[in-house]
Amino acid sequence: MRGGSFSLRPRDPFFTTTRRYVDRTAVLETDFTTESGSVRLLDLMPIDDGGRTLRPMREVLRAVEGMAGTVEIEVRLDLRPDYARRRVRPRRRGRLGWTYAWGDEVLVVHTDMALRLEGDALVGTVTLGAGERRYLSLAYTKSDPAVLPPLGKQAEERIADTIHWWREWAGHCRYAGPYREAVVRSAVTLKLLTYALSGAIVAAPTTSLPEAIGKGRNWDYRYCWLRDAGLTTQALLATGYREEALSFLGWMLHATRLSWPELQVMYDVFGRTRLAESELVHLAGYAGSRPVRIGNDAYRQRQLDIYGEVVIAACAALAGNGRLDTESARMLAGLGDVVCRQWRESDSSIWEVRGPLRHYTFSKVMCWAALDGLLRLHDDGALTLSPTKVEAFGRERAAIEQAIERRGFNAAIGSYASVLDGDKVDASLLLMACIGYKDASDPRMRATYDRIHRRLGRNGLLYRYERFDGIDGIEGAFGICGFWAIDNLAKRGELAAAEGRFQHMLAYANDLGLYGEEIDIASGAALGNFPQAFTHVGLINAAVAIERARA
C-alpha cells in the first residue's frame, strides 16, 4: 500500500519544472511549462501571528498563477492519516469546502477550484490563463473548532506576511562570507526542523527514506539526537541565532531531567523517552525499500559521546555570558560525575552501531570534552564545582587523554583508530580537531586526516566508517563528514584546499540547496532521511571555519 499524496500539476504529462525558494525564505516556487503555456505554484506554511488573529493551528497554502498561454491544471488530494492505517472519506461542507475528520482531528480543504470525490480522493481540474490565480488551503486543527482560512486577498496577505517574516529572520544571519546563500539556506532549514513549541530540533522530518535503495537501512529520524547538540548550538551561535541556540539548550536541559544524571541518546520533541521501534508492514516503502519503521530503538543504546555534546553546547551558549542558574549548573555537574564513572565502559558510538559494544576512541574523546568543558565553565565562573569535583574531573580528564593517546593512536597505521587498540578508522575522528581536543595541525591529527581519506574517501566525499555493520546494503558517503574535513583544512590554515573542497560539497546539494544524510557516490543523489539537520549544521560550521581562517 502507498501513503497519501497531494499533487497539483499540469494535465499535459509532457511538462517541465524548475523550482527555487523565494529568496531568503521557506516559500517554495515551482514553474511548470507545457506546450500551451506556463504556470507558477507557490507552496508555503503561513507564519503564525502569535494568536493576534484567528488562524488555523497548522496550514499549508498553495497558490497557482497562470504566467503565459493557458494551462490545464489537475489537483489530487489523497489523504491517508495515521500512516494509512485509517480510512477517512472527505465530507462536503457547502461553501466551507471539504473536511476530513478522524478522532479529534480535522483537516479542512478550502479552495476556489471545484473539487469532486473520486474514490476516497478529492480531484479537480482548472484551466488557467495568464494572470489568473487560484488558491488551495489545507488547514489542520486538533481538539478545537476548526478555523477556516479565507482565500483571495487574505491568502495574499498571508503569503506576503510569511515572505516578510522569513526575510527578516534571514536578515539576522551574521555570516557575511562568500557562501552566504548556502549558509542562509541551511539556517532556514534548521529553523524548519525546529519544533516551535519547545525549541527541539529534529534530525530530519521524515522516516524510512532509505540509506541504500531497496535494502533495510531505513530509520525514523523525527527525533532529537543529543549527538547533534554541540555542533548544532555552535552553528546557530556562529550565525547569530542566539535565541534559537538558547531555546535548544533549554529544551535539552529540560528534556534530559527525566533520565538525569544519565542521558538518553535521543528524545522526541516533547522530551518523551520511550521511542519503541515498530514496522509498518502494510506500506510499500520508498522505491520498494522496506521495512518502513516508526520509532527508533537507538534510544536504548548507550552512547558516551553525548555527555560531551551537551557540555559543549552549554559552553558555546554561555561563553562570556555569566553564570548558569543553580538547577542547570547542578545538572551539568551531574553529567561530569556520570562521565567519571562510565568512560571506561564500551558503547555504541556516535554511529549507533547495532551489535556488540566497543571502546570507541571518539566516545572517549567526547568524555574528555565533557570534563574539560565543565572545568572551563568552573574557571570562567559560569558554575561552581566543589574542590573534590575539580580534582576528580581533572584527574579523570588526564586519564582519558592518556588512554586516547596510548591506545587510541595506532603507531602501526600512523593514525588514531576507530576503537582503542584497533587498526581501522572512522570519520568521527576528524571531530577531534573541530571540538578542540587536538590541534588540526598536530602531526597525529594530520596523519589521521590522511589515513581517513585513503581508507574512506571517494570522489571528494567520505564514508563514515570502514567496518561492516551487519546490515544489508552499502550506504552512501556521509554528508557531514565531508564538512568536518573542510573544518580541519580551515583550522590548519589551508584556505585554498578548504574552499575547493567546500565548493565541491556544494555541488552535491539538490536544486534547492538541501542535503540528505548521505550521498550516493556514483550518482551524487541524496540518500537517507531528508533534509538532514546534521549535514546542514556541518555546512554552516565549515563555512564559518573558512571565514575565521580567512580573517
Partner 1 sequence: MNMSLVYAVLWGLLATVAMTAVLRASQGFGWSRLSLPLLVGTFFTGQRDRAVVWGYLIYVIGGWLFAFLYFLLFDSIGLYTWWFGALAGLVHGLFLLVCALPLLPFVHPRMASEYHGVTAQRQLEPPGFMAVNYGYGTPLTTLAAQTLYGAVLGAFVQLAN
Q: List residues binding partner 1 (CB under 8 A).
A: 50-55, 93-96, 99, 101, 103-104, 106, 108, 110, 141-151, 153-154
CB of 96 to partner 1, least distance (A): 6
First to last CA, the chain: 55
- Nearer to partner 1 by C-beta: 94 or 131? 94
User: How far apart, in whole angstroms, are the C-alpha atoms of residue 135 and residue 252?
Assistant: 39
- Nearer to partner 1 by C-beta: 106 or 486? 106
Element housing 322 (H / E):
none
- Nearer to partner 1 by C-beta: 104 or 511? 104
Residue 404's nearest CA partner among 373, 388, 379, 428 is 428
String of b and e for 92-114 (b: at least 16 CB within 10 Å)?
Answer: eeeeebbbbeeeebbbbbbbebe
- Nearer to partner 1 by C-beta: 141 or 296? 141
Q: How many residues does the chain have?
A: 551
CB burial of residue 28 (10 Å; 0-12, 13-18, 19+): middle
Residue 350's nearest CA partner among 520, 517, 475, 226 is 226
Please enumerate, as own/partner, the contacts of 239-245 that have beta carbons within 8 Å and a separation of 24 or more: 239/173, 239/174, 239/175, 239/183, 239/187, 239/540, 239/544, 240/172, 240/173, 240/174, 240/175, 241/172, 241/173, 241/187, 241/191, 242/317, 244/190, 244/191, 244/194, 244/199, 245/316, 245/317
CB of 141 to partner 1, least distance (A): 7
Do the beta carbons of residue 187 and residue 232 sit within 8 Å? no
C-alpha cell at 515: 542535503
CB of 54 to partner 1, least distance (A): 5
- Nearer to partner 1 by C-beta: 7 or 154? 154
- Nearer to partner 1 by C-beta: 101 or 471? 101
CB of 8 to partner 1, least distance (A): 21
User: How far apart, in whole angstroms, are the C-alpha atoms of residue 77 and residue 55?
Assistant: 22
User: How far apart, in whole angstroms, are the C-alpha atoms of residue 361 and residue 3?
Assistant: 42
CB of 50 to partner 1, least distance (A): 8
Helix locations, 457-494, DSSP H = 479-492
User: How far apart, in whole angstroms, are the C-alpha atoms of residue 40 and residue 131?
Assistant: 10
CB of 51 to partner 1, least distance (A): 4
The CA–CA distances, whole Å, from 297 to 16, 18, 197, 202, 269 equal 42, 39, 25, 16, 16
CB of 215 to partner 1, least distance (A): 38
State the number of CA atoms in the 13 A half-sphere of 131 facing the CB: 0
CB of 551 to partner 1, least distance (A): 45
Site of grid cell 532529537: 224
Q: What type of residue is 478?
A: F
- Nearer to partner 1 by C-beta: 99 or 328? 99
- Nearer to partner 1 by C-beta: 59 or 396? 59
Do the beta carbons of residue 39 and residue 79 sit within 8 Å? no
CB of 45 to partner 1, least distance (A): 17
CB of 290 to partner 1, least distance (A): 31
Q: 42 forms bridges with which residues in the sheet?
A: 29, 63
CB of 385 to partner 1, least distance (A): 43
